[in-house]
Structure 1
Amino acid sequence: MRRDTSRAVGYLLVGSLAFFPPILEGRVGDTAAAIGSVAPLALVAALALRSRGGPVFDRLASADDREEGRLYSLASFTLAVTALSVLAVAFALPVAAFVAAVFVLTVGRLGRTLARPWIRTAAAGAAVFVATGTLGAIAAIRLAGELGAAVPPLPVVAFVAASGGVLGALVRSTLTPRDDPIVLLLSALVLWFLLGLDLEPTTGRIAVGLAVTVALGYVAYALGTASVTGMLTGVLLALFAVVLGGYGWFVLLMTFFGLGGLASKYRYEEKLERGIAEENEGARGGGNVLANSAVALVAVVSYAASDHLGVDPTVFQFAFGGAVAAALADTFSSEFGGLFDSPRLITTFEPVAPGTDGGVTWQGAAAGAVGAVIIAALGGLFFGFEAIAVATVLGAGIVGMVVDSILGATLEGGRVGNQGVNLLATLAAGITAGVVSIVI
């Protein structure tokens, strides 16, 4: 524990060197001088590669470093920070994105290390990382602003820091906690993109988005409807929905997550006996959540960037509604339809065993249609869709459900897995709804 704390503090101190390049560039206006200020980082990386033992090595070495006899982890972390420094001073990487990526990781790691004696579950550990990393990033960005760097308003700072915190925890849980360079670079690039949207969220929307998404993420994990990666993926997508889109987008997405998760748990033991149950006791992982929500995520981000794209934002509302309707329709169809006997293959109508890819029942089709109706109705309520628009979203949801079954019967099990089929089905639904919205 003491060694882990020393290592976390050491990484935080090294990460603090990230302040100097962008701030110097902003003050002296000399890019060359600012790039030269990364010398301390380069020196740390060089010393780490040369270190073979001693008190510093003992305090900063990971288990892998001890086997290799060099501080490769610290060196790779420092080089990643150096690369971000160069991007910040020479390629306009926003200081807020740069600082958030560094301090989410370093402060989040330190917070999780200090709280380890009280952490009992992986979800609690991820929550501590997100909370402390987010607060550390907010403080660091504000400090950078006080030192002369150009930073966005506080609501945007809070959104960027929280997005970085959840994304960092998600990447670490998906890969390994030792993949610091990937966490840093991926977080910085995503936050760079978000800041490029020129967002102007209100403090109230940010506060509501953070509070509600965190609460729902906890509930999803506590009820067993999502794994840790599934929970983090859902929280990130929900945060993007409420901040980049609005409360209506958030409600539609949360309806899918909530009802879809409960459908997976419904009569789970019976599904398990039939061999059609979701793995992990029905808890959906990050890949499953993302496969069903990736198209919706693209739609909400595109909606926020519609001025830059020169496309009517309504098109992306339709695409979002269609994709979410298809996701819930397919979930209801498979989770409820699989409980009934005598399914038939959708391509030939031949009888097949329950759980066969592409096998459908009329009960499952009816349940799927109900799922699409729910999302279409919510679209009408929150997006102000008229009857023809509601019908469009409903039809797109059913199209996505049918496409999912056809792909299941023809492609699934070979080169395309279940998650790939889900992604293609929601994509078909989103495109269908978007194209029809242009026509009508």
Structure 2
Amino acid sequence: MTSTLRRAGGFAAVGTLSLAAPILGAAAAVPFAVIAALAAFVVDDGPLFELFARPGDYEDRRLNGLAGFSLAATGLALLATVLTDPMPVSLFVTAVLVLAYGNLGERFVGDYSDDPFIGTLGFTVVGFLAGTVGQVATASVTTTSIDPAVAAFLASTGALVAALLRSVLYERDDPLVMLSVGLLLWFFAQLVTTIPPLEIVGALAVMVVLGYASYALGTASVTGMLAGVLLGVLTIILGGFGWFAVLIAFFGVGGLSTKFKYDDKLDRGVAEDNEGARGSGNVLGNAAVALFAVIGFAASEMVMLPGTLFLFAFTGSLATAMSDTLSSEIGGLFDTPRLITTLERVPPGTDGGVTWQGELAGIAGAALVAAIAVVSLPIADPLFGALVIVGGGLGGMTVDSLLGATVEGDRIGNQSVNFLATLAGAVVSVVLAVVLL
């Protein structure tokens, strides 16, 4: 057994103390606070130090990693016990176990394979199982009922969020990961109280298959795959399979367009990096607005806004993402781009450069999103609904080109431009929906 696996086992053992929270009640934070104090001020040598020490701890002679992990658990335990409207104890337990046992699963498979996909799979699967067991165990101690489908949704969401954050952060950032998972689960638990069992089973099955396919085909990196799977699960559960059809159309067509004549694009210097595999930043830059929209739709009764507005924000943002992706990937193959602000000729790949071929591809992309939306979503007037979505897509695509020609580069990066453009597309669609529908 390697030292990293033993250390992960030690952290998992500490995390298991969270299962005592239903029994300890208001004192649930005490065991973790004591461990944090011992790690920070007492244990500086000996077998315990060797078990829990990370490489950087040896220089400080202090178990900083264990102290941070325990302090994060202490904070979540306090949120679950001392507030007037506290976090459910089951979610505190889930957040701690997902991270602790997810790390253990990742380290365990890491002894047999150095493939990052296998490591991520180990983290996600073991974290999901631990989070599910934590909720069931908490319910059995407190004699409260539990919806298995909701428990599976929360455990899978927690495992995916933790795996995504762990893949882009460092091991020393585990406290931030734990707190983020706990707070997000608390939020999602307010939105989702019941789920049809077949819906969560279908959501997880579909996303596992599509997630692996995107990684195997090279259209997404490991982090991009995690971000896509998380977005897919949340979209299915909070919106429905109709919403997911629109989302997956963008990911599928957009990913394949990136691979289209990739070698030619590479020779021309306009190809995406990493052999066209989209990372988490690219996925979130294009789909963050859509995610906020589907969350807003799920919370529309709470915020007292019509759900239709969020539906058009969702479709308008994805129409923009599809339009921009196709216009860039198709337009980059032609030698006649002109800067959108001055119409002067510029080299292929210049930010803000457009071609008539790329513009036509962008219109086709927006129309494809609109067609899927009017078939799969409850849009009362399909014709005007389609026009609203296409209008949002074209408006957002134009904003993307304008930002590319004026501020992209030294001031803001491509991912920020994508986010602002999809936000503009969402706003345009919502405004058009208010005027026309």
TM-score under structure 2 normalisation?
A: 0.96
Percent identity among equivalent residues? 47
1:53 paired residue among 45, 49, 55 = 45
Q: Is 2:106 the counterpart of 1:112?
A: yes
Distance in structure 1 (CA, Å) of the matches to 2:329 and 2:7: 47
Residues 297-330 of structure 1 show CA distances to partners (whole Å, capped at 9, x for unaligned) of 0000000001101111111111111110110010
Distance in structure 1 (CA, Å) of the matches to 2:29 and 2:358: 60
Q: Which range is displaced more, 291-300 or 171-180?
A: 171-180
1:320 paired residue among 314, 318, 333 = 314
Q: Which residue of 2 aligns with 1:11?
A: 11
Q: Which residue of 2 aligns with 1:31?
A: none
Which ranges in structure 2 are unaligned for 5 or more consecutive residues? none
Residues 88-144 of structure 1 show CA distances to partners (whole Å, capped at 9, x for unaligned) of 001211223211111111111112222223324111111110011001110111001
The 3 A distance-change label for structure 1 pair 424 and 151 is farther
Which ranges in structure 1 are unaligned for 5 or more consecutive residues? 26-33
Q: Is 2:340 the counterpart of 1:346?
A: yes
> 1:414: Cα distance to partner?
2.8
Distance in structure 2 (CA, Å) of the matches to 1:134 and 1:15: 15
| Residues 214, 225 of structure 2: 8 Å contact kept | yes
Distance in structure 2 (CA, Å) of the matches to 1:432 and 1:200: 33
What is the CA RMSD across the aligned residues, in angstroms?
Answer: 1.3
Aligned pair count reads 431
| Residues 8, 103 of structure 2: 8 Å contact kept | yes
Residues 272-291 of structure 1 show CA distances to partners (whole Å, capped at 9, x for unaligned) of 12111111111111111100
Q: Is 2:75 the counterpart of 1:83?
A: yes
Q: Which residue of 2 aligns with 1:394?
A: 390
SS at match of 2:264: helix
Q: Is 2:395 the counterpart of 1:404?
A: no
SS at match of 1:159: helix
Q: Which residue of 2 aligns with 1:425?
A: 421
Distance in structure 2 (CA, Å) of the matches to 1:431 and 1:334: 22
> 1:435: Cα distance to partner?
2.1
> 1:20: Cα distance to partner?
3.0
Distance in structure 2 (CA, Å) of the matches to 1:250 and 1:223: 20
Q: Which 4+ residue blocks in structure 1 deviate beyond 4 angstroms? A: 149-152
Distance in structure 2 (CA, Å) of the matches to 1:414 and 1:149: 58
State how 1:65-214 maps to structure 2 within 5 Å: 65-91=57-83, 92-148=86-142, 150=144, 152-214=146-208
> 1:397: Cα distance to partner?
0.6
Distance in structure 2 (CA, Å) of the matches to 1:201 and 1:39: 35
> 1:9: Cα distance to partner?
1.9
| Residues 192, 238 of structure 2: 8 Å contact kept | no
Distance in structure 1 (CA, Å) of the matches to 2:64 and 2:144: 33
Q: Which residue of 1 aligns with 2:2?
A: 2
Distance in structure 2 (CA, Å) of the matches to 1:22 and 1:224: 45
| Residues 23, 144 of structure 1: 8 Å contact kept | no
> 1:337: Cα distance to partner?
0.4
TM-score under structure 1 normalisation?
A: 0.95
2:410 paired residue among 408, 414, 424 = 414
Q: Which residue of 1 aligns with 2:32?
A: 41
Q: Is 2:368 the counterpart of 1:374?
A: yes
SS at match of 1:341: coil
Distance in structure 2 (CA, Å) of the matches to 1:383 and 1:336: 28
Distance in structure 1 (CA, Å) of the matches to 2:122 and 2:32: 28
SS at match of 2:80: helix
SS at match of 1:99: helix
| Residues 96, 157 of structure 1: 8 Å contact kept | no
Q: Which range is displaced more, 1-10 or 361-370?
A: 1-10
Distance in structure 1 (CA, Å) of the matches to 2:246 and 2:265: 27
